Structure 1
């Protein structure tokens, strides 16, 4: 089964309000966050780590999908970096950083609207990067610590998730995405899910997944 053509994944986003879609997009970007904050970016990109910290902080502070001046300013600061005036041929680790930044730019531009299509674009970014990393690992002889743990996870994963035939990161990302979307849809319409204990658990799951990207990306960066 091709996850890109599975309408059940799209149906959850279709059923969300704008606030809920924003929360789903935010959590997707949270799953890509660790490479931005834990791996140094190339100096010639000209991106100030403090500007990234501000972007992430402002993004986490406004989760209702409405326009936000502080987040808009943070995006302008990032967008003015020399990176955006040059052509870049990124290595794998740098690609993750670039796509994570691009995801935040997409989210920032969607504030005040946060359409179904815009949400799909951000959520799809986390899916694509997960499956791309799996494909790189499958095609490489590079050893990434934790292989046995990843294999055990796949062997015990939900049957529907295993039906997609994805590797560890693709499967685990979809599992967390599903948990996030189900919780978002189940929460009362005006509630602040991510300020609740359930929301904290979702953020923790996204952070744990994101941190698991680091050993793989660092292994390729060391080659």
Structure 2
């Protein structure tokens, strides 16, 4: 039996190997946009397609013909849309749930298979790695006993994808907020929290909160003119 794990980030690449040690089946990792095509999937003929992280629109031909399960880092229907981790922390929310949902045309609107709690303390990279382990366990449970999805209940709250400029620390008024902004952007591939002057950009990472101060590493770059 074939199963697909589709994620365009390496932090999820260990999931197939880990699951192959726990379950019978052939677990295939896809990370490129063109790999998640109907033509390729028809050749593989997967039982399920699990999607922990995918930065592209999933073609309707794919989710209409295969059982696609998306993992989203909010307690849906709260927090549909982009940049869930950063949107949650910037709102002062430090505990959430990972929702496993059926892929449908409307973004993050599909019925829910299951939810598991996730702490949002630590750097973004630490949170993502923690979530990868939780998602692996969720996939394991779903393969063992595939649940019936239930329609989302409650008012939908939409998140907008955050831009690099949203990481500017200039207008923040509390140390707690500054600390949260630094850590929520402290992950591979993410633009860092920053402050800029006329000639330089100061990017922050690896922050620790000391009560009345923050200790962090800073990268100083000359602005491109």
TM-score, with length taken from structure 1: 0.28
Q: Which has the higher helix share?
A: 1
Structure ID, larger Rg? 2
Q: Which has the higher strand share?
A: 2
Higher relative contact order (CA 8 A, sep 6+): 1
